[in-house]
Amino acid sequence: MPLERPLLPLPGLRRIVADSGSVYFINALVGFLFAASGPVAILLAVGARGGLSESALASWLFGAFFFNGLISIAFCLLYRQPLVFFWTIPGAVLVGPALTHLSFAEVVGAYLLTGALMLVLGLSGWVRRVMDSVPLPIVMGMVAGVFLRFGLNLVYAVREDFWIAAPMIAAFLVLSAAPRLARGIPPLIGALAVGAAAVALLGRFAPTAGPMFGFAQPSLYIPVFSLRAAIELVLPLAITVLVVQNGQGIAVLKTAGHPAPANAIAAVCGAGSIVTALVGTVSTCLTGPVNAILSSSGERHRHYTAGLWVGMFALAFGLLSPLFTRLLLATPGSFIAALAGLAMLRVLQTAFGVAFRERYTLGALVTFLVTVADVTILSIGAPFWGLIFGFAVSWLVERDDFRRSG
């Protein structure tokens, strides 16, 4: 299956202005704030756990926003859909444990290999076939196991910093219980605002010495290709991007009436991952939650303008990544943990629901348990072994599920 053809000619400036409107700008702002709050908190939490420096984290953010912002703008124009790309959150979480026994250069090498694999799959047109052949419940069992620590850290944040974490959770729950109010103030954004106010009132904002404002100075990394990094990260990263993240994003767009170009998306995720890897950024993916927000209201043929706005916001955020990195790192760890945990709640809920709903449930359970145990075997992290053991158990015990899926 060849790459899907773009809609040519590209829209001119007059057409874009005519298709724009306040609804699409507001949706873009809300979608971008979502991407720049909880997911960034997760990234910083993972990087801090892996021992990355502030400059390395700022470089990671630069690649995640600036380069992916360029891709988003290009695809929104080419296909006239809200096709926004950022980075794989499950993939970033997978990297955290790997950084405890792999060098960052080895991780960057795995990023490059993952990008090359996805590019080949996208150009070959095999993406849909691969997506259909991977038992999603087993993959989601791994995702649930990896994400569980974020849910637990949310609870620990309440224990360790009650007056910061508890108001954030309360704001999140109040807004979640009031759908009308949540349309204007998304629960995660409300939690972010309340948490920031609590940090300020308690005098817990403590930036490091040096200027707060600064433009991005991304680091360029020389990759190191190692077999153990490739085995541990390449396949899980490719699966999380192509199956979990892109699959979610494509499903969201399909529900909204947009025929998402699956093979072109996979190919650009591969190419984007190769470029962003050079500045230390985890693999590029199509974002589900942001595209869901962008396509939630307004006229379908004008949704792409919201994607263009998000792309421009991302370019600005990437250029100012040192500022935002320093601002977030100056807050207490409980603030980041609570924000990341709240951002993961729905994803964790979905992961458990998909993993244990109907088929491959025993394999998903084994995958989950092995992943949560976090035992490294042969210098290879638990998520990979979770997939291997879970698939093996399902193949032995749940053969009927494979036959029904086939």
When pLDDT is cut at 50, 70 and 90, the band that residue 208 belongs to is low
Q: Tell me how far apart the alpha carbons of residues 338 and 59 are, in angstroms, rounded to a whole number.
A: 24
> Is residue 386 included in any domain, yes or no?
no
pTM of the model: 0.73
Q: What is the structure's pLDDT at 212? A: 60
Mean pLDDT for the chain overall: 85
Q: Is residue 404 part of a domain?
A: no
Does residue 228 form part of some domain? yes
How many distinct structural domains can be found in the chain? 1
Instruction: Return the structure tokens found at 312.
Output: 């421009």
User: In terms of residue numbers, what domain contains 58?
Assistant: 13-352
For the ranges 201-205, 258-262, 348-352, the lowest mean pLDDT is seen at 348-352
The reply to whether 160 falls in a domain is yes
Range 179-186, long-range pairs (CB < 8 A, 24+ positions):
186/30, 186/33, 186/34
CB of 24 within 8 A of CB of 299?
no
CA nearest to 43, candidates 104, 85, 93: 93
Instruction: Look at residue 364 and tell me if it is in a domain.
Output: no
Confidence bin at 131 (pLDDT 50/70/90): low
Name the pLDDT band for 117 (thresholds 50, 70, 90): very high
Phi, psi of 377, deg, nearest 5: -120, 125
Whether 224 is in a domain gets the answer yes
**Tens digits of per-residue pLDDT, 285-332?**
998 878 887 887 788 999 999 999 999 999 998 998 777 777 776 788
Q: Has residue 395 been placed in a domain?
A: no
Domain-located, residue 374: no
pLDDT per residue as tens digits for the range 342-364: 877 877 887 888 889 888 999 99
